[in-house]
Structure formats: C-alpha cells, structure tokens
C-alpha cells in the first residue's frame, strides 16, 4: 500500500500498524482520504527539491506517492479552476514537523508559479519565502520535545492574480507565548550572541557568551553554536531581502540586547526601600531603548496605582514585585518587537494598487501553522490556551470533513456506514460559556 486510504478494515490499530510499516520503509507521508498524514523523520530526506517538484506539478492527488507537494498542487489547482480561495491547515503535536511542512508548501507554490519569470513576481516570492526565516528566528524556541518549536500561531494569506502568480500576502500572528523569553531559549537571542560579530556585540553592550545572561543561561550548554552563527547570517540576509533598512535592523537588535540586559538587572533591599544593584546595566538599557536612565529605574522600582477618587499615586515595589515587574517588562517589550516585525513585513508584502477591473479577480491560498498540542506534569496557562486552540481546530475539522460528508450522503440517499464522531465540544463549551465557564 502507498497510503492507508485503501485499507479495507478501518480500525485505529490497523492504520497505526500500516503507518509504522511505511515509515520504516522510508515513506513518511500517507493519505487518509484527501488529508496527508506526516511522520517527522528527524533527518534529512532526498524527497524534496526541483526533481520532486517537477514530478508532482500538475498531477492528480493519487497519481504519485503521498507527499506535501501533492496537497499543495491540489490546493493551487482548486484555486485556479474555481477562482475561489483555498486553505491548507497544518496541525499536530509539538515536534511533528508542522513548521517544516509549511516551508515545503511555500517552496512548492513558489516553484510552480511565474513561469515567465517576471521580476516583480519573483520579488514577491522571495519576500514570502524569506519571511519564514525571520519569523522562525523571532517566534521559535527550544522546548523539552522540540529543538525548534513555534511559540506562536501563524496564518499566512498568499494572494494570486488571475494568472495564478503570487502578487503579495498577509501574515496574522496569534498568541505569542511570551514566557519563552524567561523559561525557554528564544532562537533570536542565541543567534545574536553567537552569530554577532565582536564589534556589533560591543556596541550592544553584550558579550559572546550566552551563560552570562539570565534569559539564555539555560540554553547556553545545549544549543549548537555553529547553527546559531549560520542562522544569524541567514536572518540578517533575509531582513535585507525583505526590505528592512539598516537602521531598522539595528533597532531590532538594540531592543533584543535591551531585553537580555533587563534579565540581568538585580535588586536589593535596604530597610523598606528597594534599589537596583548596578547602575551600569540600567544605563545600557536606557541607551539601547533611547530613554532616560531615571525613567528606566523608576519603571523598575515603582508602579502607579489609581485610587477610588481618580487620583494616581506611585507605590514602591518589594524586591519580589520588582523582579516580577522586570520580567513582565521584558515580555511586553518582546511582544511589541515581534508584533512590529510582523506588521513591517505585512507593509512590504501586502498587495498594493490592485484593481479587480484591470487585473482580474484576486484569489488567496491560506496556510495555517499553529503550535502543537503538549501535555506536561505541570501545564502553564499559555499551554492551556495552546491546547484549547488545538481542540477547537480539531472540532472544526470534524465538522467540515465528517459531518458535512455524512449529511450530503443522507441528502443524496447514498448507502453509507455511520462514522461515530468523537469530539470535545461539551468540554470546550464548558470552559468558555459566558455564565458557566471556569473561573481562573
């Protein structure tokens, strides 16, 4: 068998056994209906590239062995033939290879479009492809199960003209898991520390040692320096190709450096007052963020409280509160930086001056890549949100794929075997119902 679609006895056990058997033979893709199931091989495989793209270009879904390229081609052909928007949804557990799959889908679509090699279309394709590199650097982190785990949800629209050539796109990002800065190893930090030249690091008041910084100390011994160096060069190149100016790139890394230095700010107590230990770090942060040192220190040591009468007063932090506020500041700063990077990319790749009368109908292929489902002994609120999002996506899948198909069989009077739908609608409804949800 080339895919489990043709198994006569449909039980989970037989599907599992057949999938394992194919994986052991080097076949990591299989179909269940029109859905491609992928098993992450955790190694390089010679099943991608120009020759494979040529083999799947313009072919029907089952004409070749199961592959991401086949699904990508099917989505592209459906969009062109029907002149309707299509979407590819990538879901699965953390570490299942979703981010890599989205990159191969983008690679395939870029390769089969613009046969006339028009410069403006090639420019759009390059920007769309390079945006993956940048978002991966700033939105991915090392976790217990995945060395390059996406810590945000990404939905990318790729716009096409009536010829089927890409004209632009738009990226929506969701639920950036800001806690990765404190608990995990954000790729951008390690890439900067290990890939930045000595002159750059000196200007940012940093040193080429991840163990010196609180937010990267955990990953200092485990991450690979050579990969970080090459990745940093790739990200710098991608930012330039996309269209970021030198001043904007410098600002991005100044903010990253400021966040790293924030993690090293320490506090000490003298009686009831709390003080910052080491003014140099505060001075460096203020320089990198173009703010006044006193304003930085004040923001770290005090908070504003609104009274019942509308008066706003300042209240000094305890040492514990100051540490919490420092980390909250770092997370907020990173979230603003990431959001700005996404909006800046969108300002470059969005379709401009498009007139349907002159240029024909504009259609879209959407690619959804969300972070994977995980369950730990102790799960954070962020992990709860991630798992909830995956449950809702699974419900949508069941609704569209199973329920609608069965309802169509009933309308057409087709004899069919009832498929029992296993879903968690009741559970998710309980969590989010306005008057019955859990209090957190």
277-289 pLDDT, tens digit per residue, is 989 999 999 999 9
Measured CA to CA, the distance from residue 32 to residue 41 in angstroms comes to 19
Ranges under pLDDT 70 in the chain: 1-3, 5-6, 8-10, 181, 183-185, 222-226, 357-360, 419-440
4-208+360-424: CATH architecture = 3-Layer(aba) Sandwich (3.40)
Pairing of β 35-38 and β 86-90: unpaired
E strand or H helix at 229, and its extent? helix 225-242
Any catalytic annotation for residue 245? Answer: no
pLDDT tens-digit series, residues 243-291: 999 999 999 999 999 999 999 999 998 878 899 998 999 999 999 999 9
What tokens appear for 98 in the block?
């979703």
Asked whether the CA dihedral 194, 195, 200, 204 is positive or negative, the reply is negative
Query: Out of 177, 186, 287, 374, which one is annotated catalytic?
Result: 374
Query: What tens digit of pLDDT does each residue of 24-69 get?
Result: 888 999 988 888 999 999 889 999 999 999 999 999 988 999 999 9
The residue annotated as part of the active site, out of 99, 161, 214, 231, is: 99
Catalytic annotation on 150?
A: yes
> What is the torsional sign of CA 187, 193, 199, 202?
positive
- Neighbouring CB atoms inside 10 A of 375's CB total 9
To the query of whether residue 21 is one of the catalytic residues in this protein, the response is no
Question: Does residue 146 carry a catalytic annotation?
Answer: yes
99 is catalytic: yes
pLDDT at 428: 65
Beta strand pairing call for 363-369 and 86-90: parallel
Strands 273-277 and 266-270: antiparallel
| pTM for this model (two decimals) | 0.88
Q: Which two tokens stand for residue 386?
A: 């991630």
């Amino acid at each position: 068998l080339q895919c489990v679609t043709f198994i006569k006895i449909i039980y989970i056990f037989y599907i599992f056994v057949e999938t394992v058997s194919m994986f052991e033979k080097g076949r990591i893709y299989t179909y269940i209906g029109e859905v491609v199931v992928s098993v992450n091989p955790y190694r390089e495989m010679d099943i991608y590239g120009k020759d494979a793209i040529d083999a799947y270009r313009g072919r029907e879904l089952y004409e070749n062995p199961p592959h991401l390229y086949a699904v990508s081609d099917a989505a592209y052909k459906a969009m062109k033939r029907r002149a309707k928007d299509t979407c590819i949804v990538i879901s699965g557990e953390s570490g299942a290879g979703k981010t890599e799959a989205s990159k191969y889908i983008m690679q395939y679509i870029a390769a089969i479009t613009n046969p006339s090699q028009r410069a403006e279309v090639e420019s759009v394709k390059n920007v769309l492809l390079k945006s993956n590199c940048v978002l991966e650097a700033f939105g991915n982190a090392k976790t217990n199960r995945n060395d390059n785990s996406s810590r945000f949800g990404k939905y990318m629209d790729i716009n096409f003209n009536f010829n089927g050539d890409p004209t632009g796109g738009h990226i929506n990002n969701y639920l950036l898991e800001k806690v990765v800065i404190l608990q995990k190893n954000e790729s951008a930090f390690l890439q900067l520390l290990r890939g930045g030249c000595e002159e750059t690091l000196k200007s940012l008041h940093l040193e080429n040692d991840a163990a010196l910084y609180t937010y990267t100390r955990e990953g200092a011994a485990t991450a690979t320096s050579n990969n970080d160096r090459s990745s940093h060069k790739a990200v710098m190149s991608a930012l330039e190709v996309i269209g970021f100016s030198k001043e904007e790139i410098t600002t991005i890394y100044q903010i990253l450096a400021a966040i790293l230095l924030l993690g090293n700010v320490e506090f000490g107590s003298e009686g009831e007052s709390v003080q910052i230990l080491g003014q140099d770090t505060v001075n460096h942060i203020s320089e990198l963020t173009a703010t006044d040192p006193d304003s930085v220190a004040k923001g770290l040591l005090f908070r504003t409280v609104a009274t019942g009468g509308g008066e706003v007063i300042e209240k000094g932090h305890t040492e514990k509160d100051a540490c919490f506020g420092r980390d909250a500041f770092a997370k907020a700063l990173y979230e603003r930086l990431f959001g700005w990077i996404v909006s800046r990319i969108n300002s470059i790749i969005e379709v401009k001056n498009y007139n349907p009368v002159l240029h024909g109908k504009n259609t879209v292929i959407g690619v959804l890549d969300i972070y994977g489902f995980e369950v730990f002994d102790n799960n954070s609120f962020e992990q709860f949100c991630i798992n909830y999002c995956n449950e809702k996506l699974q419900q949508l899948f069941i609704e569209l794929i199973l329920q609608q198909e069965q309802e169509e069989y009933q309308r057409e009077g087709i004899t069919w075997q009832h498929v029992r739908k296993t879903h968690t609608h009741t559970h998710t409804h309980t969590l989010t119902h306005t008057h019955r949800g859990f209090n957190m």
